[in-house]
Amino acid sequence: MISKRRASSPSLFSKIKKILIKAVVYFLIASIGSVLIFKFLPIPFTMTMINQKFNQLIDDKGLSFKYSWKSMDNISREAALAVVASEDQLFPDHFGFDFASIQNNFIRNQKAKKIRGGSTLSNQVAKNVFLWQKRSYFRKALEYYFTVLIELIWGKERILEVYLNVAETGKYTFGFEAASQRYFNKPAKNLTRQEAAKITAVLPSPRKWSVANPGPYVNKRTAHIVRQMRAIGGTNYISNLRKF
């Protein structure tokens, strides 16, 4: 009896090992394949969009769901500059990670009540497109994995293009085209620096803050972003982003 039990153990371990190897291989194929596909095709939806679409259907108070994909050529360069100036000024130079910010926030978070993550634009795109919003170490690990993939396969310009399209810019509103049409009645291609900065100002909390009815804090953030856009050199700062 003992010998039979011992003989069966390697067989069970071997089966588990094969299942795990297959799971990893399938995940790699699916993840790399999806990143390759979305290098060229518009992002149809994100998990956050699905969640907000359901909320909009339940809410049903006349506010429509807005999401309209536009290529980088049809989005004002002021919008691209605004998000870089506000969210990640090292974006043109890093490879998806701001290690100094990560280290500083890790030290700060040991004592602070509100956790800061030090996410770059690349991290945010990886999370928004391929993952979910709820925080966990597992999700963070996947976020870093997808960050490396999109940096390698997409390049900076595509990452920024995706960010400008899928970022939540207001209640039931995603992307700068949707925000521009909803709040300024014009296409994102025609956004001015002030308008682009105002949309960017609400990005940290787009369901709480409003582009249409900005309070003192949003107006203050808008002015600060405009100053930062000017300080880093205007649109020339993002003129040579890596395309692939």
Encode pLDDT of 1-31 as tens digits: 445 555 555 688 888 889 999 999 999 999 9
Cα–Cα nearest to 134, from 76, 142, 189: 142
Q: Are 159 and 124 in contact (CB under 8 A)?
A: no
Percent share of the chain, pLDDT over 70: 88
pLDDT at 1: 47
Considering the domain architecture, whether residues 193 and 218 belong to the same structural domain is answered as yes
Considering the domain architecture, whether residues 114 and 132 belong to the same structural domain is answered as yes
Considering the domain architecture, whether residues 109 and 22 belong to the same structural domain is answered as no
Whether pLDDT at 147 is above 90: yes
Q: Is residue 243 part of a domain?
A: no
Looking at residues 29-35, what average pLDDT do you find? 97
Measure the CA–CA gap between 240 and 9, rounded to whole angstroms: 58
Q: How confident is the model at residue 218 (pLDDT cuts 50, 70, 90)?
A: very high
Considering the domain architecture, whether residues 140 and 195 belong to the same structural domain is answered as yes
Considering the domain architecture, whether residues 117 and 2 belong to the same structural domain is answered as no
pLDDT at 194: 97
Q: How confident is the model at residue 114 (pLDDT cuts 50, 70, 90)?
A: low
Q: Is residue 244 part of a domain?
A: no
The total of structural domains in the chain comes to: 2
Q: How confident is the model at residue 43 (pLDDT cuts 50, 70, 90)?
A: very high
pLDDT at 111: 61
pLDDT at 63: 87
Considering the domain architecture, whether residues 7 and 100 belong to the same structural domain is answered as no
Considering the domain architecture, whether residues 31 and 116 belong to the same structural domain is answered as no
Measure the CA–CA gap between 46 and 37, rounded to whole angstroms: 15
Whether pLDDT at 226 is above 70: yes
Residues 6+ apart with CB under 8 A from 105: 116, 117, 118
Whether pLDDT at 60 is above 80: no
Considering the domain architecture, whether residues 71 and 9 belong to the same structural domain is answered as no
Please state the length of the chain.
244
Task: Give me the CATH number covering residue 71.
Answer: 1.10.3810.10
Q: Is residue 81 part of a domain?
A: yes
Q: Is residue 188 part of a domain?
A: yes
Q: Is residue 198 part of a domain?
A: yes
Give me the domain span that covers residue 5. Answer: 1-37
Rounded to two decimals, the pTM is: 0.89
Q: Pick the range with the lowest mean pLDDT from 105-119, 122-136, 162-176.
A: 105-119
Distances in Å between the alpha carbon of 89 and those of 64, 106, 229? Answer: 33, 20, 10
Considering the domain architecture, whether residues 18 and 111 belong to the same structural domain is answered as no
More confident residue, 4 or 232: 232
Considering the domain architecture, whether residues 23 and 79 belong to the same structural domain is answered as no
More confident residue, 17 or 60: 17
pLDDT at 115: 52
More confident residue, 46 or 61: 46
Considering the domain architecture, whether residues 25 and 93 belong to the same structural domain is answered as no
Considering the domain architecture, whether residues 232 and 113 belong to the same structural domain is answered as yes
pLDDT at 15: 87
CB-count burial class (<10 Å; 0-12, 13-18, 19+) for 85: buried
